[in-house]
């Protein structure tokens, strides 16, 4: 069964880092192939994974919009878009990356988007795990791009304000009636000693705390030297904590033939 794990939260809370650590865990455990989806226009997940990406789904969509009246002879619009989708998919051993890229420009993209969603659904069926790094804030939720998620991980920093922001995101999800099976809170860069008031605010916001990732000098070093987080050593405290979180929530078994409208 394909399982989709997605990140949500405001900017600077460590969503991209967590996505990379989850992918590292899945690869180490042999849960392959994995599809990483970078749904953040800033496209930082590729750097965290050590990938070099030149084109995105956004550029493919723009190319289609600009050339739809002058397609190659004998090629339908749908075939052209499917070809573009496979061109931008970055493939590696056990891990593929799809970069969504910039948002839509002026003009109507309904036709292109409908075709791309259909082919994305078919593409996702080929992977036991899909990990999505979303943009900051709640825009992706209001556009329903996280529809059909198995585990949505709310990222927060160690602050009352951060927890309240996550609470607002949870409320928006309830209002939009999104199809999300489980929702979890993850606190990034947490100190060793935690204030009781912090835990109380988590309860006030009705959040399910999955884990707290401590400050990790390995992550700082790897990011400064632009080294892939997939190569982090096992003794990394963040690696160990994320591994414990994933062992709590992921399920293994046979894939299902369909996962619905995921993106």
105, pLDDT greater than 90: no
Domains and CATH numbers, the chain: 3-249 (3.40.50.300)
pLDDT digits (tens, 9 = 90+) for 203-227: 999 999 999 999 999 999 999 999 9
114, pLDDT greater than 80: no
pLDDT at res. 183: 94
DSSP H helices, 153-262, are 160-176, 196-204, 217-224, 237-249
120, pLDDT greater than 70: yes
Q: Give the C-alpha separation, 58 to 242, whole Å.
A: 31
Identify whether the C-beta of residue 50 lies closer than 8 Å to the C-beta of residue 34.
Answer: no
Please state the rounded mean pLDDT for residues 79-104: 83
Whole-model pTM above 0.95? Answer: no
Q: Which of 42, 84, 34 is nearest to 59 (CA)?
A: 84
pLDDT band of 103, cuts 50, 70, 90: low
Residue identified by tokens 């590729």 is 46
The two tokens of residue 254 are 């046979």
Please state the rounded mean pLDDT for residues 89-111: 75
pLDDT band of 112, cuts 50, 70, 90: low
Identify whether the C-beta of residue 154 lies closer than 8 Å to the C-beta of residue 183.
Answer: yes
If you average pLDDT over every residue of the chain, what do you get? Answer: 84
pLDDT at res. 77: 79
Is the CA virtual torsion 49, 34, 102, 136 positive or negative? Answer: negative
pLDDT at res. 255: 37
pLDDT band of 137, cuts 50, 70, 90: low
Q: Which of 45-59, 121-135, 242-256 has the lowest mean pLDDT?
A: 242-256
Identify whether the C-beta of residue 153 lies closer than 8 Å to the C-beta of residue 210.
Answer: yes
159, pLDDT greater than 70: yes
pLDDT at res. 23: 98
Q: What percent of the chain has pLDDT over 90?
A: 49
* Between 117 and 122, the higher pLDDT residue: 122
């Amino acid at each position: 069964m394909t399982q989709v794990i997605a990140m949500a939260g405001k900017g600077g809370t460590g969503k991209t880092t967590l996505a990379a650590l989850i992918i590292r865990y899945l690869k180490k455990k042999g849960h392959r192939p994995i599809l990483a989806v970078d749904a953040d226009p800033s496209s930082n997940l590729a750097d965290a994974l050590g990938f070099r990406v030149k084109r995105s789904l956004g550029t493919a969509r723009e190319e289609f919009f600009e050339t739809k009246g002058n397609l190659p002879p004998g090629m339908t619009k749908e075939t052209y878009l499917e070809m573009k989708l496979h061109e931008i998919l970055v493939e590696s051993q056990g891990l593929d990356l799809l970069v969504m890229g910039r948002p839509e420009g002026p003009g109507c993209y309904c036709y292109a988007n409908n075709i791309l969603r259909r082919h994305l659904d078919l593409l996702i069926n080929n992977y036991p795990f899909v990990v999505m790094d979303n943009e900051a804030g709640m825009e992706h939720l209001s556009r329903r791009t996280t529809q059909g998620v198995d585990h949505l991980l709310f990222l927060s920093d160690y602050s009352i304000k951060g927890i309240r922001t996550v609470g607002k995101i949870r409320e928006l999800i309830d209002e939009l009636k999104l199809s999300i099976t489980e929702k979890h809170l993850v606190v990034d860069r947490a100190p060793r000693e935690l204030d009781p008031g912090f835990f109380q605010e988590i309860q006030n916001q009705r959040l399910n705390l999955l884990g707290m990732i401590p400050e990790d000098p390995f992550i700082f070093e790897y990011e400064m030297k632009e080294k892939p987080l997939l190569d982090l050593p096992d003794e990394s405290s963040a690696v160990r904590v994320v591994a414990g979180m994933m062992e709590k929530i992921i399920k293994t078994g046979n894939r299902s033939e369909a996962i619905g409208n995921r993106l």
